[in-house]
Amino acid sequence: MARTGRPTLAVVGATGAVGAVMLQILSQRADIWGEIRLLASPRSAGRKLAVRGEEVEVAALTEEALDGVDVAMFDVPDEVAAQWAPIAAARGAVVIDNSGAFRMDPEVPLVVPEVNPHMARMRPRGIVSNPNCTTLSMIVALGALHAEFGLRELVVSSYQAVSGAGRAGIETLRAQLSLVAGTDLGTAPGDVRRAVGELTGPFPEPVALNVVPWAGSLREDGWSSEEMKVRDETRKILGLAALPVAVTCVRVPVLTTHSLTVHARFQDEVTVDGAREILATAPGVVLCDDPAAGEYPTPADVVGTDPTWVGRVRRALDDPTALELFVCGDNLRKGAALNTAQIAELVAAEMM
Ligand SMILES: NC(=O)c1ccc[n+]([C@@H]2O[C@H](COP(=O)([O-])OP(=O)(O)OC[C@H]3O[C@@H](n4cnc5c(N)ncnc54)[C@H](OP(=O)(O)O)[C@@H]3O)[C@@H](O)[C@H]2O)c1
């Protein structure tokens, strides 16, 4: 198929956990791109990766490698994005950044195409930010409920997969699982910790046979950076600058797909039937909610899929204005690569 005249795309960080899923997604979605250029650190230069059924050689990220790029997706660590996204934008590319470097910059929109697509056009710095994976795993469902009911308060707990910490997170859980499999570890205080030893990778504690009430780095008054991201980003995406938000982020031994319990309080009384109707028809949401039949979403079933899955929809027992939900979303797809691809498609549509 002729690809001339179509926008050139660069995937910066093509070799990472998000980058790998991005290449799958670009191979599965409508092929709107001309050239797709794959960039990473000099360590990966010369590697070949498959995208759209073709082998493409990875090049090192340099200023010249960005020449002629119309849209640049950045799937790299914060500090790399902070340095290189403005360079790419100055060379004429629209940057869609998956890192945390620009999300709270007032001149950078934070976009979820199902919730605030119009914001993708307002990009004075030439950069659009993609929210973090924990926020993204719930925000499509929450945005649909907010549009109808008017959100007034949010209390969430996350159950976050290890791939939220990149390739290193995946490798760490796999290595720890092989250490503990077939043993009687997990029966005495500290036995898992001793078996795992130094092999904790990007996590502060063993994650196999464990749950860890910590994700990210320490912020003021005992909050974690991940918790602050969920609060700040939810407020920015929904345009609710003063929304009361309480978050506890927890890491669990799941490879990919974040889950959250959500307590959402709205302006007026809500009904479960009303909430179900909204969730059943909201774009990007699947309602999977029949506990009598054992139907609710779990990461093991949701991983590898695109939508936000919602189950356990209940009205709060002590507050007729509040709903309780359980939400699952693949943190590498909607939580990262898919949302970025959707934003890039919105931007590409302006160019064609
Ligand atoms: N994992 C998630 O669920 C998730 C969700 C949302 C957002 N994010 C964000 O997305 C970004 C990527 O995350 P990840 O999980 O994919 O990380 P990752 O698996 O560690 O991959 C990092 C990528 O960045 C590249 N890179 C590192 N240093 C570079 C440099 N100096 N120049 C050019 N490329 C460089 C790496 O290339 P080499 O292979 O050559 O080292 C690799 O392609 C992060 O900002 C992360 O916070 C992640």
Q: What is the CATH number of the domain that holds 257?
A: 3.30.360.10
Q: If you measure from the C-alpha of residue 293 to the centroid of ligand 1, how many angstroms do you get, rounded to a whole number?
A: 40
Asked if residue 183 belongs to a domain, the reply is no
250 and 219 in a common domain: yes
pLDDT in tens, 196-225: 999 999 999 999 999 999 999 999 999 999
Asked if residue 61 belongs to a domain, the reply is yes
Q: If you measure from the C-alpha of residue 315 to the centroid of ligand 1, how many angstroms do you get, rounded to a whole number?
A: 39
The mean pLDDT value of the chain amounts to 97
Q: Is the confidence at residue 2, as pLDDT, over 80?
A: no
286 and 220 in a common domain: yes
276 and 315 in a common domain: yes
18 and 87 in a common domain: yes
pLDDT of residue 4: 80
145 and 15 in a common domain: no
Q: Choose the residue to mutate in 21, 76, 225 for probing ligand 1, maximizing ligand atoms within 8 Å of C-beta.
A: 76
Q: What percent of the chain has pLDDT over 90?
A: 98
Asked if residue 176 belongs to a domain, the reply is no
pLDDT in tens, 22-44: 999 999 999 999 999 999 999 99
Ligand 1 within 6 A of 98 CB? Answer: yes
What is the arithmetic mean of pLDDT over 251-262?
98
If pLDDT is split at 50, 70 and 90, which confidence band does 3 have?
confident
Q: What is the spatial distance between Cα 88 and Cα 94, in angstroms, rounded to a whole number? A: 8
Ligand 1 within 6 A of 78 CB? Answer: yes
Q: Is the confidence at residue 152, as pLDDT, over 90?
A: yes
Q: What percent of the chain has pLDDT over 70?
A: 99
Full residue range of the structural domain in which residue 228 is found: 135-161+211-329
154 and 69 in a common domain: no
Would the annotation count 347 as a binding residue?
no
For 39, the token pair is: 């960039």
Residue nearest to atom 14 of ligand 1 (CA): 166
Asked if residue 174 belongs to a domain, the reply is no
If pLDDT is split at 50, 70 and 90, which confidence band does 352 have?
confident
**CA-to-CA separations, 57 to 40, 166, 206, 290, in angstroms, rounded:** 11, 22, 37, 47
Asked if residue 202 belongs to a domain, the reply is no
56 and 72 in a common domain: yes
Q: What is the spatial distance between Cα 145 and Cα 318, in angstroms, rounded to a whole number? A: 20
pLDDT in tens, 158-193: 999 999 999 999 999 999 999 999 999 999 999 999
Asked if residue 109 belongs to a domain, the reply is yes
Q: Is the confidence at residue 294, as pLDDT, over 80?
A: yes
Asked if residue 175 belongs to a domain, the reply is no
pLDDT in tens, 231-241: 999 999 999 99
Amino acid at 98: N
Amino acid at 100: G
If pLDDT is split at 50, 70 and 90, which confidence band does 5 have?
confident
Q: To which H or E segment does residue 156 belong?
A: strand 151-159
Residue nearest to atom 1 of ligand 1 (CA): 164
For 329, the token pair is: 């979303």
Q: How many domains does the chain have?
A: 2
143 and 93 in a common domain: no
For 163, the token pair is: 């791939």
Ligand 1 within 6 A of 331 CB? Answer: yes
| pTM, rounded to two decimals | 0.95
236 and 116 in a common domain: no
Asked if residue 201 belongs to a domain, the reply is no
Q: What is the spatial distance between Cα 332 and Cα 258, in angstroms, rounded to a whole number? A: 9
pLDDT of residue 327: 98
97 and 56 in a common domain: yes
What is the arithmetic mean of pLDDT over 37-57?
98
CATH of the domain at 23: 3.40.50.720
218 and 112 in a common domain: no
Reported in sequence order, the residue ranges of 22-148 that DSSP labels E, i.e. its strands, are: 36-40, 48-51, 54-57, 59-60, 71-74, 94-97, 127-129
Backbone angles phi, psi at 135, to 5 degrees: -60, -45
253 and 151 in a common domain: yes
If pLDDT is split at 50, 70 and 90, which confidence band does 84 have?
very high
pLDDT of residue 318: 97
What is the arithmetic mean of pLDDT over 307-334?
98
Q: What is the spatial distance between Cα 316 and Cα 323, in angstroms, rounded to a whole number? A: 5
Would the annotation count 17 as a binding residue?
yes
Ligand 1 within 6 A of 41 CB? Answer: yes
